[in-house]
Amino acid sequence: MKTTKLFAGIAPALALGGMLMGSTTALGNQQAPTTGASPEITSITVANEGGGLSPYLSPSCAVVVNFSDATPSASTAYTVTVADSYDVKVGTFAQASLADGGDSQFRVGVPCDSIYEDEALTYVVNEGDSQSAAKPFTFSYVGHPTGIEDSSVLRNGEWTHFVGKKATVKFTGGSWEPGTKFSSRVWTSKTKNFTPADFAANTSGNAAIVQRDGAGAPVLTWTPRQQDAGKYVWVSIRGEKAGKGDWQFYFDAQKVAALPKQPAKWVKKFGKITGKVKGHPKVGRKLSVSKPVFTKAGKAHKATVRYQWSYGTATTIKGATKRTFKPKRALRGQKLRLTVTVRAEDYADRTKVYNVGRVR
């Protein structure tokens, strides 16, 4: 098992649609008035957004201070000061932008990683010597576990998943807050460096293995496909809830490899089929195959055996998964087959197909 990194959803302001941190909008030729009304905070909310050409969900988080001013100045004239309960300044944040609702509505985004979590802080909008009334707000991230693990194994110095083998993810140290919605992503790239071409292949092609947003539960299992062999996977799960900061867990790029073949020496010999009449299976007569004989190495790897009877070229017979089988009348004239599959952990399946013969 491998423990991941976690990501609390803090990213540069420009990821938030250009409306919050790092965005400046002037009001034509308006100048800051020498007298007039003070700004008034109308609401404080939390905004989460993704952005960029990242293989992860990449949330960007900000506490958004929305305010109005009956005698508006240029947006560059405003700042927001945040202080704790002891009136100790946490920080001052600039670069307001226009909000929906006319040229007297503004907003300033305060990066979530710049303030204290789960503590009541006061927010004040400054405009020169004028200030708004202080407004309290307590920010918190959505309740989440403390860690996450997956089923990747260390192979040749890289954490690796195998084609056709189900990959699993589990959270550790607590649980998600009730009402959390989840976005899950398993994206692929051709190399360990995620490129714009990889981004396009996952968003508009079939490169993505998992992409699910706003679901009631995270995706905790997925299976690498044959087309993913030799590529890398980027796994991330984000929890989100209105009014709170998103929380994301993610894994660094992991290799996808084909499972190695089982050494032929593991099976000393495969079994023989008995019960045929004059070289053919017969309706109503039981057929039986003896078990494969494993060498010491095969036994050491705890190899197991599965059986599947079929007819024609590949039509499986439902429920016919034992060493013995009795053909029914409906199979008369059909060519009967038996596939014996040897399985071992972290190795590709090995199969032997018996052409049993045409049922008489």
Half-sphere exposure of 359 (CA within 13 A, CB side): 22
By CB atoms closer than 10 A (0-12, 13-18, 19+), residue 69 is buried
Tens digits of residue pLDDT in 233-276: 999 999 999 999 999 999 999 999 988 888 999 999 999 999 99
Tens digits of residue pLDDT in 214-227: 999 999 999 999 99
Is residue 172 over pLDDT 70? yes
CA gap 120, 90 in Å, rounded: 12
User: Is residue 198 within a helix (H) or strand (E), and if so which, with residue range?
Assistant: helix 196-204
Q: Measured over all CA atoms, what is the biggest interatomic distance in the chain, rounded to whole angstroms?
A: 110
Question: By C-alpha distance, which of 29, 131, 107 is closest to 73?
Answer: 29
Is residue 332 over pLDDT 60? yes
Least confident of 6-20, 30-44, 282-296: 6-20
Check if the beta carbon of residue 147 is closer than 8 Å to that of residue 4. Answer: yes
CA gap 138, 181 in Å, rounded: 21
CA gap 60, 343 in Å, rounded: 45
Is residue 98 over pLDDT 90? no
pTM of the model: 0.69
What the chain holds in terms of domains, given with CATH numbers, is: 9-138 (2.60.40), 147-257 (2.60.40), 264-358 (2.60.40)
Confidence of residue 100 (pLDDT cuts 50, 70, 90): low
Helix, strand and coil content of the chain, in percent to the nearest 5, comes to: 10, 45, 50
Confidence of residue 36 (pLDDT cuts 50, 70, 90): low
